[in-house]
């Protein structure tokens, strides 16, 4: 077979693989081989062969229990590169600086990568505990991680609960999957997350999601500091600040589903019991 003969077949395989990825991307709960075959008009053997290759490269994941396929975590890594190319971090940095100036605490930007939060940017307060940029922490231990877990497709989050070990890092670390499921559901409903002695006994944090143009949680923005300064009373006031900041960033990135974000801000204001100029 000559190179000229091989190229059309290779191109066709790529096009079919892309169609499969697009189909899976539109069905977050996952699809089986038969369903994909029917939707795309491809033979099951062809679909299975392409899915196997995509799984091997991390672009697709297979749920062993349901035998369904969905997009894999390889897209997260590619997405991070795409975010960098769009100067996403550049857009967020002024807001981080503003949060530090307003609160006197450290502000940070995190994304979900696998079962961890990867912190892309931090702005330190003169009073803050110094930590290295690029720090990864388990998602269930950080406010930023819990916010992003709350915006996972539900089936994907349930699988996360089944496939991850929940290690005790601090006195309040949530290690029981059922308890974490309940906790994340509450985070999903209220639109923000609080961490209190979950990664380290003396640290507390509060975070909210940043949405992209399609309304998906692209990243999370958080404030973190020692429990001696971030009292629960003060965190209650900071919730409004962090949500309004995230909403502003989301709008700048093209988010236009205002009803959802504005409702979250209204709920935060309703739930806050204390008000004042000083935060």
Q: Is the pLDDT of residue 260 over 60?
A: no
Sorted by where each begins, the domain ranges of the chain are 3-72, 76-271
- Asked whether the domain spanning 76-271 has the same topology as the one spanning 3-72, the reply is no
Q: Is the pLDDT of residue 211 over 50?
A: yes
Q: Is the pLDDT of residue 87 over 90?
A: no
Give the pLDDT mean for 96-117.
91
Confidence of residue 274 (pLDDT cuts 50, 70, 90): very low
Q: What is the predicted pLDDT for the residue at 254? A: 79
Q: Is the pLDDT of residue 261 over 70?
A: no
Q: Is the pLDDT of residue 134 over 80?
A: no
Q: What is the predicted pLDDT for the residue at 12? A: 85
Mean of all residue pLDDT scores within the chain: 83
Confidence of residue 278 (pLDDT cuts 50, 70, 90): very low
- pTM of the complete model: 0.63
Q: What is the predicted pLDDT for the residue at 64? A: 86
Q: Is the pLDDT of residue 179 over 80?
A: yes
Confidence of residue 272 (pLDDT cuts 50, 70, 90): very low
Q: Partners of 112 in the beta sheet?
A: 117
Q: Is the pLDDT of residue 128 over 80?
A: no
C-alpha pair distances (Å), 72 with each of 51, 142, 201:
11, 23, 34
CATH 3.30.450.40 at 76-271, yes or no: yes
Tens of pLDDT, residue by residue over 16-39, are 998 998 888 877 778 999 999 998
C-alpha pair distances (Å), 36 with each of 9, 27, 32, 71, 74:
20, 10, 6, 13, 21
Return the higher-pLDDT residue of 268 and 144. Answer: 144
- What is the topology classification, in CATH, of domain 3-72? Arc Repressor Mutant, subunit A (1.10.10)
Q: What is the predicted pLDDT for the residue at 276? A: 43
Contacts 24+ apart (CB under 8 A), 28-31: 28/70, 28/153, 28/155, 28/156, 29/68, 29/70, 29/153, 29/155, 30/63, 30/66, 30/68, 30/69, 30/70, 30/155, 31/68, 31/69, 31/70
Confidence of residue 77 (pLDDT cuts 50, 70, 90): low
Give the pLDDT mean for 43-58.
92
Return the higher-pLDDT residue of 279 and 39. Answer: 39
Query: Are 216 and 25 within 8 A, CB to CB?
Result: no
Q: Is the pLDDT of residue 127 over 70?
A: no
Tens of pLDDT, residue by residue over 212-237, are 877 889 899 999 999 999 998 999 99
Average the pLDDT over each of 51-65, 74-88, 200-214, 247-261 and give the range with the smallest value: 74-88
């Amino acid at each position: 077979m000559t190179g000229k003969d091989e190229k059309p077949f290779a191109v066709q395989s790529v096009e079919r693989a892309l169609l499969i990825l697009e189909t899976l991307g539109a069905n977050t709960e996952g699809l089986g081989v038969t369903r994909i075959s029917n939707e795309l008009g491809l033979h099951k053997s062809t679909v299975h062969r392409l899915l196997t290759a995509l799984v091997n490269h991390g672009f697709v994941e297979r749920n062993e229990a349901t035998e369904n396929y969905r997009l894999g975590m390889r897209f997260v890594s590619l997405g991070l590169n795409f975010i960098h190319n769009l100067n996403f971090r550049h857009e967020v940095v002024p807001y981080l600086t503003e949060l530090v100036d307003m609160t006197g605490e450290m502000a940070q930007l995190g994304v979900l990568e696998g079962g961890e939060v990867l912190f892309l940017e931090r702005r330190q307060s003169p009073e803050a505990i110094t930590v290295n940029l690029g720090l990864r922490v388990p998602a269930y231990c950080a406010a930023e991680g819990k916010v992003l877990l709350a915006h996972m497709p539900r089936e994907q989050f349930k699988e996360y609960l089944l496939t991850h070990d929940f290690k005790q890092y601090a006195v309040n670390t949530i290690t029981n999957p059922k308890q974490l499921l309940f906790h994340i559901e509450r985070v999903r409903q209220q639109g923000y997350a609080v961490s209190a002695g979950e990664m380290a006994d003396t640290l507390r944090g509060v975070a909210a999601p940043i949405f992209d143009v399609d309304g998906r949680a692209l990243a999370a923005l958080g404030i973190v500091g020692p429990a001696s300064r971030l009292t629960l009373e003060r965190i209650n006031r900071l919730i409004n600040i962090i949500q309004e900041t995230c909403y502003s960033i989301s709008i700048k990135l093209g988010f236009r589903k205002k009803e959802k974000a504005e409702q979250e801000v209204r709920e935060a204001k309703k739930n806050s019991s204390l008000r004042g100029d000083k935060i």
